[in-house]
Amino acid sequence: MTYGVIPPAGLRFSLDAGIPQSYPFKLQALMAQRYTTQSVAVYNDGGPGNKVSQERTRFNDDVKTSGPQLILLMEGANDLNEIAAAAAAGVQNTNQLVDNVVGMMEDIVRDAIERRSIPVILATLPPQRLPKGAATAFIGRYNNGLKTMAAKKGATLVDFGAQIPDSMISSDGLHPNEAGYQRMAELMFDAIKTKYEAAATAPSVAFTRR
């Protein structure tokens, strides 16, 4: 979902904002429009099919390479779909499996905030449906776990799950459509503005009585 897949799409990887339909690409445009006297680079490090269980080493390697000042993190959809497949095959301990994914996300957030002193904006997952979005039953537990973890680790939370409607999910039921990616970019943009823009203050005036 970070990479920006709206099937069909060819894969490409480079240290930039990614393909035009991706939310990082759209976020880059919003940043450039607002901060005209600054040069803000947005790097899209998403990869289709990636799972949290495989990401920690790649995450740390890519953070070391790109040296970001802020990390925007959203992941877990593929893990939850894997859990949904396991549930369909009769696996019973699905709640624990979901909690395990939250724990792996916590490891990544800890690597950023505590090991590298890089702030994190953490996003919940947007809604999904069939055919590709098979994990609807698990998203609520996962997103709630992310909210609790973000508060504990000091990450800023952006609630895609609550603020992206089903109408902004594409026909495959998993990836956002163009409007969905735009909405993701806007929500991240708002979080960045809230966190980093200094509020304008009125000049103070001192009065003395003689």
Structural domain including 187 reads: 23-193
Query: Rounded distance, CA 13 to CA 10, Å?
Result: 10
Residue 10 confidence (pLDDT): 52
In a domain? residue 140: yes
Q: Phi-psi bin for 7: left (phi > 0), alpha (psi -120 to 50), beta?
A: beta
Specify which residues 122 forms β-bridges with. 73, 157
pLDDT at 46: 87
Is position 205 within any domain? no
Given this model, what pLDDT does residue 28 score?
Answer: 94
| 200 belongs to a structural domain | no
Q: Cα–Cα distance between 70 and 164 in angstroms, integer? A: 23
Query: What per-residue string of b and e applies to 122-131 under the rule 16 or more CB within 10 Å gives b?
Result: bbbbbbbeee
Strands 156-158, 71-73: pairing is: unpaired
Query: Which residue ranges in the chain fall short of pLDDT 70?
Result: 6-15, 199-210
Do 30 and 185 contact (CB within 8 A), yes or no? Answer: yes
pTM above 0.85, yes or no: yes
d(Cα 11, Cα 170) in Å, to the nearest integer? 19
- In the chain, the number of structural domains is 1
pLDDT tens, position by position, 157-202: 999 999 999 999 999 999 999 999 999 999 999 999 999 987 544 4
For residue 11, being part of any structural domain is answered with no
Predicted local distance difference test score (pLDDT) of residue 11 = 54
Is residue 203 in some structural domain? no
- How far apart (Å, rounded) are the C-alpha atoms in residues 71 and 121? 6
162: in domain = yes
Q: Give the domain CATH number at 51.
A: 3.40.50.1110
Burial of 67-79, coded b for 16+ CB within 10 Å and e otherwise, reads ebebbbbbbbbbb
User: Is 80 in contact with 29 (CB distance < 8 Å)?
Assistant: no
CA atoms within 13 A on the CB side of 135: 26
Answer whether residue 177 is part of any domain: yes
The total number of residues shown for the chain amounts to: 210
Residue 182 inside a domain? The answer is yes
